[in-house]
């Protein structure tokens, strides 16, 4: 049975900021992936003051990638020289979105920077520059390269990728998860030990983050496509649950 357009869950996607042109933007890949999974993508501008009101309208969230780094001050560390670009507006927009998502138990998917932002929000830290922390690390900044990831056998990701034990994914990052945030578990790593995915232990709430960019490869990589489907399905379930508790139309 097809889902009516009015019933499709609204998915909020945090934008990026181009400083030289002073505009908010987002690759169409994100919107395309969400729409193909059955959701309606809506961009969240980097205006933290409006996020609490705006977030109430969404059924789920995707914290998207960003060319910036999370401010190390947010996890209590001094800034390394390799941390060149910080966008306070993006950091705070993510924080506000997560505040609303966790308060209402709405599903959350963090992608690349979004995974890092999620981890920091939950009290974790980051490796500010992978080559400085992991000697001999793989190349993680070349978006054209694919590398295999090792899935934790007990993770949901492993269940979804049951026919492909080490999927090959892409990367565009120089930072990664350091200390895990509360109630997160590692779901995947690369051969050099870099965390590639986390899953949250929050009863009744979908919480997941991946370090790769599934929006760029979902049409050819099945696990990446599954991520968007699961997020949208969780958002649809949240939507239906919220409606069932709504006083509107009650006798």
Q: What is the pLDDT of residues 138-165, one digit of tens each?
A: 878 787 789 999 999 999 999 999 676 7
pLDDT at 251: 29
Q: How far apart are CA 11 and CA 43, in angstroms?
A: 8
- Per the annotation, the verdict on 19 as an active-site residue is no
pLDDT of residue 19: 83
Domain residue ranges in the chain: 5-244
Catalytic residue among 112, 140, 199, 230: 112
* Residue 215: active-site member: yes
Are 13 and 113 in contact by the 8 Å Cβ rule? The answer is: no
Query: CA separation (Å) from 141 to 7, 85, 124, 171?
Result: 39, 15, 22, 6
Give me the catalytic one of 196, 199, 215, 221.
215
Phi, then psi, of 206 in degrees rounded to 5:
-80, 115
- Catalytic residue flag (residue 112): yes
Tokens of 165: 């034990």
The reported pLDDT for the residue numbered 1 is 38
In the numeric block, the tokens 């994914």 are attached to 169
- CA dihedral (97, 98, 104, 107) in degrees, to 10, reads 100
φ, ψ (nearest 5 deg) of residue 79? -80, 125
| pLDDT of the residue at 4 | 52
**Cβ neighbours, 10 Å, residue 100:** 19
Spans in the chain with pLDDT lower than 70: 1-6, 162, 164, 245-251
5-244 CATH choice from 3.90.180.10, 3.40.50.1820, 3.40.50.880, 3.40.50.300:
3.40.50.880
Closest residue by Cα to residue 97 from 177, 18, 15, 211: 15
Which DSSP symbol is given to 177?
E
């Amino acid at each position: 049975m097809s889902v009516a357009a009015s019933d499709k869950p609204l998915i909020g996607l945090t934008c990026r900021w181009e400083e030289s042109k002073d505009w908010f933007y987002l690759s169409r890949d994100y919107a395309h992936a969400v729409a193909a999974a059955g959701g309606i993508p809506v961009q969240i501008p980097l205006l933290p003051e409006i996020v609490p009101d705006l977030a109430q309208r969404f059924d789920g969230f995707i914290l998207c990638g960003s060319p910036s780094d999370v401010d190390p001050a947010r996890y209590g560390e001094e800034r390394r020289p390799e941390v060149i670009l910080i966008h306070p507006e993006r950091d705070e927009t993510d924080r506000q979105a997560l505040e609303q998502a966790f308060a209402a138990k709405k599903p959350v998917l963090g992608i690349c920077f979004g995974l890092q932002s999620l981890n920091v929000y939950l009290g974790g830290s980051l490796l500010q520059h992978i080559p400085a922390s992991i000697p001999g690390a793989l190349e993680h900044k070349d978006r054209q390269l694919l590398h295999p990831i090792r899935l934790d056998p007990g993770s949901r990701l492993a269940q979804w990728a049951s026919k492909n034990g080490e999927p090959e994914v892409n990367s565009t990052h120089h930072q990664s998860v350091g200390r895990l945030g509360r109630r997160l578990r590692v779901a995947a790593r690369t051969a050099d030990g870099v965390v590639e995915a986390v899953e949250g232990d929050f009863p009744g709430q979908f919480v997941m983050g991946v370090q790769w960019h599934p929006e760029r490869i979902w049409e050819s990589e099945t696990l990446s496509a599954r991520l968007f489907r699961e997020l949208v399905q969780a958002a649809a379930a949240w939507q239906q649950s919220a409606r069932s508790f709504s006083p509107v139309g009650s006798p």
